[in-house]
Amino acid sequence: MEIAIIGAGQVGYHLADILSREDHRVSVIDADPAQARRLMESLDVQVVVGDATRAEVLNSGGVSTADLVVVVTDNDQVNMLACSMCRQMGAGRVILRLRDTTVLEGYRYFYKQALGFDVVLSTEELASEEIVNMVRQQHALEVESFSGGRVQLRRFRLAADSVLLGSALADLDLPAGVLVGAVARGEKYFIPTGADELRPGDNIYVIGKRGDLDAFERTSGAPSLGRRSVVILGAGRLGREITRRLSEVPGISTRVIEKDPKRAKSLAAEHSGRVMVLDGDATDLDLLHEERIDKADVFIATTNDDESNMVACQLVKNLGVKRTVAMVNNGSYRQIYDLLGIDQAISPRILCANRILRFVRSNSVSAIAVLGEGRAEVIEVRIGHDAKRDARKIKSLGLPKGTVVGTVIRGEEVIVPSGDTVVHEGDQVIVFTLPESVDAVLTVLRADES
């Protein structure tokens, strides 16, 4: 596939990095020579330096012949104009990223016709959706759904006293119907074998049906949130959207800390008593003690200042808050968040890139989850017809090393397989693999559908 990416920031770079390792011809357009140089030095992509609102620059970047154009600069106005120009120049499909989608409200059809986008994504909306889904869960730090919600992938961080430590995976007494499909250990992501042992601090990705995963949580000693009391730092665009969504969830009490009096007053007026808005600074210990922030189940830092988010999360964690979540504006800070013990660092830009990857692969896979900024992937694939392969055991399929089939969906049946499980044409399989193995996995499983 020919793919043109406009914008070499965090979203564009992340996409170019993953897609250039697959069977795609990728070009990237950016006005910043420094960003372009970074791409040329590290990735195998065509790079064009120039203004994406100029036709000659877009033409040099191959948008007129591209099967897909992804418009992801940090400037909404540039993105909207570039999107319209790409469509008029003959681009196949166009994905438009906007930070602020309120401009579309009431006029979405008009803008879709005028700009020509196929999909529009908002980084803030994706981040708020991710955070709210996490808060709804009692234990898991992340949740991804597959097969229409029948199968879930949940991430857990193992405490030092977890019952899952000290034995090989094959020897653990896990509930039937669940599988540990991937492990994140520091910066390393790997697909475990039965001989691997889990360690304190590991993030494990467990797949299975909802009920089976609930049983796993009850028996594994995963730390629970108990009651759900949420404190949000920041009443900016993301903070307001999270507040709005959480205020509609039964059983969750929400408080917001905002140091800008005008923002605080505006948010309080919007929710008229349903949400408590505190006018103050999250690093003010007197305020934190007075409002008993230490009793909160979740603290979510949503400001545009990474340092403020980190300091606030570390402070409330030390006070006793059960779980901390922080928005990451600078992608290079993600490792620092992990080192500080912040439970979940969410990058709206990386979420946006991962959602775009789903769209890119929509003809090949039903769903995709990208783990650790592209270090591992989970894909849902329909088994294609191959007379030589049909009704064969999984261990005989010839899947790449470091790949494991997490579940097989056959009609209404959800199976957590072993190597001896037989797969048939039409089965849906959910596979854990490494990014460089995705094409090989699709070749093996999809056969004449590829």
Nearest CA to 238 out of 143, 326, 342 is that of: 326
Report whether 96 contacts 120 (CB < 8 A). yes
Task: Tell me which architecture the domain covering 383-449 has in CATH.
Answer: 2-Layer Sandwich (3.30)
- Residue 387 is predicted with a pLDDT of 42
- Residue 363 is predicted with a pLDDT of 62
- Residue 148 is predicted with a pLDDT of 72
Query: What is the chain's Cα-based Rg?
Result: 23
Cα 425 to Cα 438: distance, rounded to the nearest angstrom: 19
Report whether 370 contacts 359 (CB < 8 A). no
- Residue 176 is predicted with a pLDDT of 84
- Residue 30 is predicted with a pLDDT of 97
Tell me the pLDDT tens digit for each residue of 50-98: 999 999 999 999 999 999 999 999 999 999 999 999 999 999 999 999 9
Report whether 378 contacts 441 (CB < 8 A). no
Dihedral of the CA atoms 273, 276, 279, 281 (nearest 10)? -170
CATH fit for domain 228-350, picks 3.40.720.10, 3.40.50.720, 3.30.230.10, 1.10.1740.10: 3.40.50.720
Residues of the chain where predicted confidence (pLDDT) is lower than 70:
138-139, 221-227, 362-367, 373, 386-391, 447-450
- What does the longest C-alpha to C-alpha distance in the chain come to? 71
Q: Give the 3-state secondary structure of 345-412.
A: EECHHHHHHHHHHHHHCCCCCCEEEEECCCCEEEEEEECCCCCCCCCEEHHHCCCCCCCEEEEEEECC
- Residue 448 is predicted with a pLDDT of 45
- 2-117 folds as Rossmann fold (3.40.50)
- Residue 221 is predicted with a pLDDT of 65
- 138-220 folds as Alpha-Beta Plaits (3.30.70)
Amino acid at 361: R
Nearest CA to 394 out of 415, 429, 426, 420 is that of: 420
Reported pTM: 0.72
Report whether 74 contacts 97 (CB < 8 A). no
Residue 96: alpha-carbon gap to chain centroid: 18
Domain-wise residue ranges, the chain? 2-117, 138-220, 228-350, 383-449
| Residue 165 neighbours by CB distance under 10 Å | 16
Cα–Cα–Cα angle for 250, 255, 261, rounded to 5 degrees: 140
203 by Cβ neighbours in 10 Å (0-12 / 13-18 / 19+) ranks as buried
Start-to-end C-alpha separation, the chain: 13
- Residue 421 is predicted with a pLDDT of 93
Same fold, 138-220 and 228-350: no
Cα 311 to Cα 322: distance, rounded to the nearest angstrom: 16
**Two tokens, residue 65:** 């012949």
